[in-house]
Amino acid sequence: MNRLRTLTKPTSAIPLLAAVLLAATWGRQISGFVVALVALVLIAAVVCAVHHAEVVAHRIGEPYGAIVLALAVTVIEVGLIVSLMLADSGNTSALARDTVFAAVMISTNGIVGLSLFLATAKHGLSVFNADGAGGGLAATITLAAMTLVLPRFTLTDTSPAFTSSQLIFAGVASVLLFGLYISTQTVRHRNFFLPLNPQGELCDEAEQGEPPTRQETQMSLGLLLVALVCVVGLAKVTAPTLEGLVVGAGIPVSFVGVVIALVVLGPETLAAARAALRGRVQTSLNLAYGSAVASIGLTIPVLAVVTAFTKQELHLGLGGTHLVLLAVTAVVGTLTVVPGRATRLQGGLHLALLASYLMLSIVP
Q: For 87-145, write each residue's pLDDT tens digit.
A: 655 556 777 888 889 999 999 999 999 999 999 998 888 889 999 999 999 999 999 99
Per the DSSP assignment, residues forming a β-bridge with 342 are: 126
Q: Exposure of 296 by Cβ count < 10 A (0-12 exposed, 13-18 middle, 19+ buried)? A: buried
pLDDT tens digits, one per residue of 323-364: 999 999 999 999 999 999 999 999 999 999 999 999 999 888
* N-terminal to C-terminal alpha carbon distance within the chain: 56
Q: Where does the pLDDT of residue 200 fall: very low under 50, low under 70, confident under 90, or very high at 90 and above?
A: low
Query: Based on the structure, what is the number of domains in the chain?
Result: 1
Label the pairing between strands 341-342 and 126-127.
Answer: antiparallel
pLDDT tens digits, one per residue of 226-236: 888 888 788 77
Contact 354, 106 (CB under 8 A): yes
Residue 230: domain span: 2-362
Q: What CA–CA distance (Å, rounded) separates 68 from 218?
A: 13
Q: Where does the pLDDT of residue 201 fall: very low under 50, low under 70, confident under 90, or very high at 90 and above?
A: low
Q: What is the CA radius of gyration of the chain?
A: 20
Q: Evaluate if residue 223 carries a pLDDT over 60.
A: yes
Residues 37, 38, 42, CA angle at the centre, nearest 5°?
120
Q: What CA–CA distance (Å, rounded) separates 43 from 52?
A: 15
Q: Evaluate if residue 5 carries a pLDDT over 60.
A: no
Q: What CA–CA distance (Å, rounded) separates 331 from 100?
A: 20
Q: Is the pTM above the cut of 0.85?
A: no
CATH of the domain at 352: 1.20.1420.30
List Cα–Cα distances, 78 to 32, 50, 135, 290, 298, in angstroms. 28, 20, 24, 15, 7
Contact 67, 37 (CB under 8 A): no
